[in-house]
Structure 1
Amino acid sequence: MGLSKSCVRPLTPTPLRFLSTYTSKTPNEFTNLCSKGRLKEAFESFTSEIWSDPSLFSHLLQRCIHTQSLSLLKHLHSLIITSGSSSEKFVSNHLLNAYAKIGELSTAVTLFDVMPRKNIMSCNILIGGFIQNGDLESARQVFDEMPERNVATWNAMVAGMTQFEFNEEGLSLVSQMHGLGFMLDEFTLGSVLRGCAGLKDLNAGMQVHGYVVKSGFEFNLVVGSSLAHMYMKSGSLGEGERVIKAMPIRNVVACNTLIAGRAQNGFSEGALDQYNMMKMAGFRPDKITFVSVISSCSELATLGQGQQIHVEAIKTGASTVVGVISSLISMYSRCGCLDESVKAFLEREEADVVLWSSMIAAYGFHGKGEEAIELFNQMDQVGLDANDITFLSLLYACSHCGFKDKGLQFFNLMIEKYGLEPQLEHYTCVVDLLGQSGCLEEAEGFIRTVPVKKDAIIWKTLLSACKIHKNTEIAKRVAEEVLRLDPQDSAPYVLLSNIQASAKRWQDVSEVRKVMRDRRVKKEPGISWFEVKNQVHQFCMGDKSHPQSMEIDMYLKELTWEMKLRGYVPDTGSVLHDMDAEEKEHNLAHHSEKLAIAFALMNTPEGVPIRVMKNLRVCSDCHVAIKYISEIENREIIVRDASRFHHFKDGKCSCADYW
């Protein structure tokens, strides 16, 4: 086959000590003994039959795979050679499969090269072994050199391509396969739909859907779930849900597809509703279910529900799975419970790069830049290679702590030492590093030299920095770039308007707002929410619909009076409207985060930390006010805004006024 042989010592026959005399039993009994792991008894009872019927070796080899026992596999290999069965294709293929599945690829390649009688199955086994062990290049080499292929060959190669996200190559292989007259089965269709989902290629996915209907696979559980996943991943949540609902029978995979689809498309509440319906229908959640629903709790910042689901994951044994732990770290972090994130990380039984990256991101989100860097150093010491997500989390942590120089060092380290190619998100973090530190012109120049296609987010990052540093001239240029890419995004209009309002350029403010009205662009309202007794209470400035609205208003008046006695002066410059001072002060006093904090103080026991979530950045006045409130009420107040977490305690904030 042209494959290079590995330097592996030839396997020499090693007699099995526990072979004994033959006792008459049926072949079914032999199979049962093997499946139960009673191999010694199986050997002793069927010695003669094993020598006369080599096919019985397959049961023993399957047990080696199940137990991942290399030592037993080598003993069996010796016996197969001794018995003269190594020339049997059936036995050789099972032996090859066992080495490949256990991960002994070098031995598998050596065995393959010396096999006297190979067939398509032999090649398929080797392809599968390479793919399982992440060697896609060698798998493709075997595939390309095969004189003849069957459907299983094509399926293995297509699955490998899509598994490693070479989706375009995978779709190309399917096209070749179909052109050669091979019929696509449920495994091919599952892989090709996964490839379409990876590319978010709705048109290609719809063509495959047509083939699915014509081929009669529409109600196949595997194909139906893959089809729904494709639609949902491509942004067509409704069409994906229709596919699932049309299936006459559902299983856990179908339920997971529906939950994940809702979560990925921003319908976190719907994902949690579907999770509850799944349990009511009698399905047992698995690790994939828990990753999706815990992520939904993370997005909603619903700590109570997250804790309940954590308990359910513990009961099912899924809480020790690395993916679930990573989701728990993220969920507790985004709900303001960094200590719980640390606990989940420290209690892990095993770890991978994703889990470490999640913890680094959690530290960064809470402004713990030094801890994030220390964890990265520990990760390096234990020999775990960082990936692009690790560096993204690290750069994020540096940008939120003002570590400009360290952040730039890590960016260069990622490229020079780790050989990783920066993505747009990495470049955006560098812009944030430069912009936050006041290097606005350098940041603008950096964006214009970025070698990847730029989006509105990277420009909005710089526009936010222009607002912090009140640079109107650069802000105008940057706003034009954002609006060119996304003219219906309200953020650039609002940021530019705010920058001009800070400079008291009211005519320019009016012009920006007129453009917004003409283009029917609506500003996203500031919303804050607080969870108590598993119920989420939402607040918006000017909204009087909350049942405790009057009490909240009175409480805030008393609190503001006490704050003023301690030196608080309302920052009316934060009110970016042309109105008198009294109106501005009233406006400030009723920002959504202040309403939520007042409600929380009124409805929780003394000393209990308060966790408030907000969809926009905290304004400078609220930031100062909350520091006063934390001191007056002797409470820790944790606020998550659109950028990061702020931990207010004893009149101070964890961000050190850098955000």
Structure 2
Amino acid sequence: MAHPRVFQLANLLQPCIKKKALLSGKAIHAQILTSGFSLDTFLSNRLVELYSQCNQFESALNSFYAIPNPNVFSWNAILCSVSKSGNIDLAHQLFDQIPEKNVVSWNTMIGALARRGQEEKALDLYHGMIQQGLMPSHFTFASVLSACASLIDLVDGKICHGLIVKVGLDSNLFVENALLAMYTKCGILDDATMLFDEMTRPNEVSFTAIIGGLVQSGCIAEALRLFARMHRNNVCIDQVAVSSVLGACAKTEEEANSPDQISFSYTVGQAIHAIVLKHGFESESHVGNSLIDMYAKHGNMEKANFLFKSLPSINVVSWNVIIAGYGKNGDADKAIEMWKLMQEYQFEPDEVTYISMLSACVKSGDTETARQMFDKIKSPSVASCNAILSGYCQNEDHVEAIELFREIKFANLEPNRTTLAIILSSCSGMGILTLGKQVHAAAMRFILHEDMFVSSGLVDMYSKCGDIEAARQVFDRMTDRDVVSWNSMITGFAYHSLNREAFSFFKIMKEDGMSPTESSYASVINSCTKLSSLPQGRQAHAQIIKDGHDIDTYVGSSIIDMYAKCGIVNEARCFFDSMPLKNIVSWNEMIHGYAKNGYGEEAIKLFEYMLDTKKKPDSVTFIAVLTACSHSGFVDKGIKFFNSMQIEHGIEPLADHYTCILDALGRAGCLRDIKLLLEKMPCTDDPIVWEVVLSACVVHGDASLGRKAAEELFRIDPKNSAPYVLLANIYASTGRWADATAVRKLMSDRGVIKDRGYSWIHNKSGVHAFMVDDFLGLVDGNGRKSNCDAHSHEICAA
């Protein structure tokens, strides 16, 4: 039986262990030594506990080694101390030396491995414990489930769950929370929710785990409702739960499908702010940062900045959140100001800071500053590379994007799906098929070619680079297709005038259960326009109205263009007037529709009305209105509008604008003015300019200017038959038959062949194209003899 003095000294040590009173504990240790009880195992175990609690791990180890006959409690105490110190290798050595391990020994070692990032070793040790025939406790299961959660090891997690049920610990709150955390981190939200619903008394840990899982999985509304239930049930609300639900409120702004959802999440966020103030959490930096992030993502930078300045303790995360907030709201100047201020206060920017700065500069279109931020990152990650690549791509700086992509490859950074999708977009933008194929090869090397995101980019790249067959092959190999994939294929067909294929794919897309988007309908409408197929256009328009896409300005502009090019200008105008929102493209299409169909006066009136509404015209607007002036003979109006371009609107005239004015002057017979304008024009190498001049000379019989225009066209486009034919017609109309014959001979000597004309007719069986053959007469587009005679062909062409 132990000496009474031993119990007395042990009782004195106990409060020192509990209060971590190191000095008092050392005094008692001195009494133990002077009293001759230093070899007592019971007291030595208490000393190991004392030094371990006070983080004096060397002293704890010395006390252990001084025990002549350590028992299992001694081994467990020193094992706990060493694992707490972080020396896992020594802990493992001690564990192996324990002569008789009990459940506490195994639990201590498994828990230490799980906490120190050695989850696989923790699971191996757990399996060894089971093989030894030991019954795991709730502490064992908590450590094992934590390891499974970190490894996203659902298989071992479910096996562990089965054993928990078997040993009857499935109602233990500690184990239930560990299971909940494991299922949420593994993304198995249904099982996590089912487990949570079966819990008899979920605590703050339970609620926090399930709310975090819901936020991570994007179930924002459910997370907010669960937090409200937590508050109603008077469950203790801690800082972790508050931060999780504030994250949900912040994410909703980006992921919401309607303004009402955004408004709801912001209202909830403000209510949670009140709870934060009530519980006194506002001084905690993690909660404060979450509040700043929530307000910033809802656009309230004034409140976010106020909270930032109110934080008692600011860290790098705080700076990153406020900088990202300014960046998201498009205030790059303020983001840069905060970045400079951050460094003045001796905070070192990290990669998150620079990515936030990148995003801010990219959003404002300042890719030059964005690149400076990127270059400041010592070891750029793929995420930072993607940020700057995205900026280049959005600003159509495709050359810079491709150069940086090559640098990334040389730096041995492995691109991800986002990298490849961005660079494929640049390949599409520049039409570089060779590089696009190289990116395709890289995608195959990194086993990303089957990723739906990358595959859609490949379809888009191949179609825009002219290889529609390769685009179709990639599309056909896709196991999963989203609406972007379908749109890329439909747009590709429409882009290459494969309009029937575009219609066919659109139909298959709908049959496949995919809902068409604005892009889908715009492509189909464009195909109707190219085919001049009014019946199909009307059908598409009806479906657009049914699906509610007629309010989209992009789709609406396509509908206006379709009706105008099919000659139904009144319907185009009716639709134009019904549009709730009109962009510059909508105005341009309507003005151009009037111009092309001979309604010059209406086009001019609409243009002038547009100016009255303070809508700023662009370069295309002036092409449309100048075309109207040209086709309708309003020469003076045309010159007035042309002169106003640079003076009143700051738009530099291009070749197309000069062409319209030349055409107007030519139609009015003002050839002298044409000669004067040609002398001042900066763009005389455009073939259309000279074609317009030559056409005017044909009408008005000006052989001198006609010859000059024809010679310019011979130089610019020697294989074009039009200038030869037109110049010959000028000579013939003025009786200069020898000159006309000479031009015909020159055309023959140079091997220039006159293009044959095509006409088309539309009937119930579809659209039929016909070609005039010099010898065979009228044949259809497949070379077959047509049933129409020459006279009926002229009617069709008219």
Q: Does TM, normalized by the shorter one, top 0.5?
A: yes
- The structure 2 residue matched to 1:36, chosen from 203, 221, 229, is 221
Letter in 1 for 2:227: A
- The structure 2 residue matched to 1:313, chosen from 523, 531, 544, is 544
User: Distance between the aligned counterparts of 1:187 and 1:52, measured in 2?
Assistant: 31
Q: Which residue of 2 aligns with 1:11?
A: none
Q: Which residue of 1 aligns with 2:793?
A: 592
Instruction: Compute the displacement of 1:37 (Å).
Output: 7.6
Q: Which residue of 2 aligns with 1:274?
A: 505
Instruction: Compute the displacement of 1:311 (Å).
Output: 1.8
- The structure 1 residue matched to 2:698, chosen from 467, 475, 487, is 467
Which of structures 1 and 2 has the larger relative contact order (alpha carbons within 8 angstroms, sep 6+)?
1
Map 1:355-370 onto structure 2 (within 5 A).
355-370=586-601
Instruction: Compute the displacement of 1:543 (Å).
Output: 2.5
Q: Which residue of 2 aligns with 1:291?
A: 522
Instruction: Compute the displacement of 1:77 (Å).
Output: 7.7
Instruction: Please tell me whether the aligned partners of residues 421 and 457 of structure 2 are also in contact (alpha carbons under 8 angstroms).
Output: yes
Instruction: Compute the displacement of 1:342 (Å).
Output: 1.1
Q: Secondary structure at the match of 1:400?
A: helix
Q: Deviations over 1:243-286 (max 9, x none)?
A: 44454554432332222222222333333333334334443322
- The structure 2 residue matched to 1:173, chosen from 404, 412, 421, is 404
Q: Which has the larger radius of gyration?
A: 2
User: Distance between the aligned counterparts of 1:140 and 1:190, measured in 2?
Assistant: 20
Question: CA, structure 1 residues 507+224, in 2 after alignment: closer, same or farther (shift >3 Å)?
Answer: farther
Instruction: Please tell me whether the aligned partners of residues 528 and 540 of structure 1 are also in contact (alpha carbons under 8 angstroms).
Output: yes
Which of 449-458 and 306-315 deviates more?
Answer: 449-458
Q: Which residue of 1 aligns with 2:81?
A: none
Map 1:245-260 onto structure 2 (within 5 A).
245-247=476-478, 249-260=480-491
Instruction: Please tell me whether the aligned partners of residues 490 and 524 of structure 1 are also in contact (alpha carbons under 8 angstroms).
Output: yes
Q: Deviations over 1:569-618 (max 9, x none)?
A: xxxxxxxxxxxxxxxxxx7xx27342x2xxxxxxxxxxxxxxxxx5xxx6
Q: Which residue of 2 aligns with 1:49?
A: 237
User: Distance between the aligned counterparts of 2:367 and 2:639, measured in 1?
Assistant: 34
Q: Which residue of 1 aligns with 2:611?
A: 380
Letter in 2 for 1:433: A
Q: Deviations over 1:76-111 (max 9, x none)?
A: 789685554334666775666566546576776676
Letter in 2 for 1:261: G
Instruction: Compute the displacement of 1:332 (Å).
Output: 0.6
Q: Which residue of 2 aligns with 1:433?
A: 664
Instruction: Please tell me whether the aligned partners of residues 158 and 173 of structure 1 are also in contact (alpha carbons under 8 angstroms).
Output: yes
Letter in 2 for 1:45: M
Question: CA, structure 1 residues 224+509, in 2 after alignment: closer, same or farther (shift >3 Å)?
Answer: farther
User: Distance between the aligned counterparts of 1:499 and 1:235, measured in 2?
Assistant: 40
Give the alignment's Cα RMSD to 1 decimal: 3.8
Question: CA, structure 1 residues 516+74, in 2 after alignment: closer, same or farther (shift >3 Å)?
Answer: farther
Question: CA, structure 1 residues 396+210, in 2 after alignment: closer, same or farther (shift >3 Å)?
Answer: farther
User: Distance between the aligned counterparts of 1:521 and 1:276, measured in 2?
Assistant: 43
Q: Which residue of 1 aligns with 2:642?
A: 411
Question: CA, structure 1 residues 241+286, in 2 after alignment: closer, same or farther (shift >3 Å)?
Answer: same
Q: Secondary structure at the match of 1:523?
A: coil
Q: Which residue of 2 aligns with 1:457?
A: 688
Q: Which residue of 1 aligns with 2:247?
A: 58
Structure 2 segments unaligned to the other structure (5+ residues): 1-201, 290-313
User: Distance between the aligned counterparts of 1:259 and 1:355, measured in 2?
Assistant: 23
TM-score of the superposed pair, with normalisation by structure 2: 0.60
Instruction: Please tell me whether the aligned partners of residues 331 and 364 of structure 2 are also in contact (alpha carbons under 8 angstroms).
Output: no
Q: Which residue of 1 aligns with 2:625?
A: 394
Instruction: Compute the displacement of 1:193 (Å).
Output: 2.6
Q: Which residue of 1 aligns with 2:449?
A: 218
Instruction: Please tell me whether the aligned partners of residues 61 and 95 of structure 1 are also in contact (alpha carbons under 8 angstroms).
Output: no
Instruction: Please tell me whether the aligned partners of residues 64 and 98 of structure 1 are also in contact (alpha carbons under 8 angstroms).
Output: no
Question: CA, structure 1 residues 385+265, in 2 after alignment: closer, same or farther (shift >3 Å)?
Answer: same
Instruction: Compute the displacement of 1:333 (Å).
Output: 0.4
Letter in 1 for 2:207: T
Instruction: Compute the displacement of 1:372 (Å).
Output: 2.5
User: Distance between the aligned counterparts of 2:407 and 2:684, measured in 1?
Assistant: 31
User: Distance between the aligned counterparts of 1:77 and 1:126, measured in 2?
Assistant: 27
Instruction: Please tell me whether the aligned partners of residues 389 and 423 of structure 2 are also in contact (alpha carbons under 8 angstroms).
Output: yes
Which of 295-304 and 51-60 deviates more?
Answer: 51-60
Q: Deviations over 1:312-345 (max 9, x none)?
A: 2223332221111011010010001111111221
User: Distance between the aligned counterparts of 1:441 and 1:426, measured in 2?
Assistant: 19
Which of 504-513 and 96-105 deviates more?
Answer: 96-105
User: Distance between the aligned counterparts of 1:30 and 1:209, measured in 2?
Assistant: 40
Letter in 2 for 1:120: E
User: Distance between the aligned counterparts of 1:414 and 1:132, measured in 2?
Assistant: 30
Letter in 1 for 2:250: L
Letter in 2 for 1:331: M
User: Distance between the aligned counterparts of 1:38 and 1:120, measured in 2?
Assistant: 30
Q: Are positions 1:227 and 2:458 aligned together?
A: yes
Q: Which residue of 2 aligns with 1:543?
A: 778
User: Distance between the aligned counterparts of 1:365 and 1:261, measured in 2?
Assistant: 27
User: Distance between the aligned counterparts of 1:209 and 1:548, measured in 2?
Assistant: 46
Q: Which residue of 2 aligns with 1:352?
A: 583
Structure 1 segments unaligned to the other structure (5+ residues): 1-21, 554-586, 597-613, 619-659
Instruction: Please tell me whether the aligned partners of residues 472 and 500 of structure 1 are also in contact (alpha carbons under 8 angstroms).
Output: yes
Q: Secondary structure at the match of 1:256?
A: helix
Map 1:19-30 onto structure 2 (within 5 A).
26-27=207-208, 30=211
Q: Deviations over 1:506-544 (max 9, x none)?
A: 444444444444555443333333434462244556427
Q: Deviations over 1:339-391 (max 9, x none)?
A: 11112212212222222222221122222333333333333343432222222
User: Distance between the aligned counterparts of 2:694 and 2:262, measured in 1?
Assistant: 56
Instruction: Please tell me whether the aligned partners of residues 678 and 684 of structure 2 are also in contact (alpha carbons under 8 angstroms).
Output: no
How many positions carry a matched residue from both structures?
540
User: Distance between the aligned counterparts of 1:243 and 1:508, measured in 2?
Assistant: 57
Q: Secondary structure at the match of 1:26?
A: helix
User: Distance between the aligned counterparts of 1:102 and 1:39, measured in 2?
Assistant: 25
Q: Secondary structure at the match of 1:350?
A: coil
User: Distance between the aligned counterparts of 1:76 and 1:493, measured in 2?
Assistant: 79
Question: CA, structure 1 residues 275+497, in 2 after alignment: closer, same or farther (shift >3 Å)?
Answer: farther
Letter in 2 for 1:366: N
User: Distance between the aligned counterparts of 2:487 and 2:630, measured in 1?
Assistant: 36
Question: CA, structure 1 residues 173+334, in 2 after alignment: closer, same or farther (shift >3 Å)?
Answer: same
Instruction: Compute the displacement of 1:190 (Å).
Output: 2.2
User: Distance between the aligned counterparts of 2:536 and 2:740, measured in 1?
Assistant: 43
Instruction: Please tell me whether the aligned partners of residues 263 and 271 of structure 1 are also in contact (alpha carbons under 8 angstroms).
Output: yes
Question: CA, structure 1 residues 40+255, in 2 after alignment: closer, same or farther (shift >3 Å)?
Answer: closer
More helix by share: 2
Q: Secondary structure at the match of 1:318?
A: coil
Question: CA, structure 1 residues 302+410, in 2 after alignment: closer, same or farther (shift >3 Å)?
Answer: same
Q: Are positions 1:262 and 2:493 aligned together?
A: yes
Instruction: Please tell me whether the aligned partners of residues 452 and 478 of structure 2 are also in contact (alpha carbons under 8 angstroms).
Output: yes
Q: Secondary structure at the match of 1:543?
A: strand
Q: Secondary structure at the match of 1:156?
A: helix
Q: Are positions 1:476 and 2:476 aligned together?
A: no
Q: Secondary structure at the match of 2:767?
A: strand
User: Distance between the aligned counterparts of 1:233 and 1:468, measured in 2?
Assistant: 40
Instruction: Please tell me whether the aligned partners of residues 408 and 430 of structure 1 are also in contact (alpha carbons under 8 angstroms).
Output: yes
Letter in 2 for 1:400: H
Letter in 1 for 2:570: D
Letter in 2 for 1:27: T
User: Distance between the aligned counterparts of 1:388 and 1:207, measured in 2?
Assistant: 37
Instruction: Compute the displacement of 1:167 (Å).
Output: 2.0
Q: Secondary structure at the match of 2:237?
A: helix
- The structure 2 residue matched to 1:335, chosen from 562, 566, 591, is 566
User: Distance between the aligned counterparts of 1:540 and 1:474, measured in 2?
Assistant: 33
